[in-house]
Amino acid sequence: MPDGVRVHYREELERLEESALGGLDMVSIALGRTMEAVEHQDVELAQVVIADDDRIDGRYLEVHQSLITLLATQSPVATDLRLISALLHVLKSIERMGDQCVNVCKVIPLSGSEAPVDPEMVKLILTMGEFTRPLISQSKRAFEERDVEMARDLVRRDDAVDELNRECFRLALQIGDEVDQREWAMTMLLAARAIERVADNAVDIGEQVAFVVTGLFREFEDASHPS
């Protein structure tokens, strides 16, 4: 229990942080299932991920509303204000990550039930998923521990995911001239792109960590100004 005055307010803020960051665990599970669905072309599992996204959206709405109530009733300032502002951003990122998993799951039926046209491309996408899940947990830990260095390290790990995405693109270009093959490759590119965005959202959460700690918002990396 927090010491000092305004104990209930502090407890509520702690609870909301825990609840918001808990959304990242939900996203991590959704991404794990999404990858499994991609690997096995499992349309039923993909449907489960799509249905479960309502839970992530529900978490977003619930915590968002409670944070607005805290803003309206408790007049938070200083670190508390920055924390609430950051949590509102983090919630949005979590909601987007959930949507990206849904985007991948929606294209799984489009990839058909035949064996993959290019198993190498599927393998790359699965590797992107393997790389992205630790990014999600690292963004959560960096936020919980207010560790800016750990948050900054997300950029390095995201670069690896970006590189895999580019590799997918290169493979898609070489896929062949058949319409079916090209359609499959386009579908897989959409999936790769969605996972790449999940990793970007983890970096966005890292930027919010830096904002909570330093009071300054700076993008770690900007698409228009790459480091």
- Which residues here bind another protein, judged by CB under 8 A? 4-6, 9-10, 75-82, 215
Which residue, 109 or 214, is less far from another protein as judged by CB?
A: 214
Q: Is the dihedral of CA 153, 163, 201, 44 positive or negative?
A: negative
Q: In the bound complex, what is the minimum distance in angstroms from residue 16's beta carbon to another protein?
A: 15
Nearest approach, Cβ of residue 90 and another protein (Å): 18
**Cβ proximity to another protein, 29 vs 213, nearer residue:** 213
Among residues 202, 223, 198, 217, which one has the least CA distance to residue 86?
217
The nearer residue to another protein, 77 or 115, going by C-beta atoms, is 77
Matching residue, tokens 């270009």: 173
Give the span between the Cα atoms of 214 and 211, in whole angstroms: 5
**CB of 6 vs another protein, minimal distance in Å:** 5
- Count of CB atoms situated within 10 Å of the CB of 3: 6
Shortest spacing between CB 209 and another protein, in angstroms: 15
| Residue number, 43 or 81, with CB nearest to another protein | 81
Between 65 and 214, whose beta carbon lies closer to another protein? 214
Query: How far does the chain reach from its first CA to its final CA, in angstroms?
Result: 42
Residue 186 tokens, joined: 């386009």
Q: 94 vs 111, 185, 196, 214, CA distance in Å?
A: 26, 28, 14, 22
Taking the least distance from each CB to another protein, the nearer of 12 and 130 is: 12
- What is the residue whose two structure tokens read 């996204």? 53
- Taking the complex as a whole, the smallest distance from the CB of residue 148 to another protein amounts, in Å, to 15
For the bound state, the minimum distance from the C-beta of residue 75 to another protein, rounded and expressed in Å, comes to: 6
Classified as helix, coil or strand, 86 is helix
CA distance 121 to 97: 22
C-alpha torsion sign, points 208, 217, 195, 160: negative
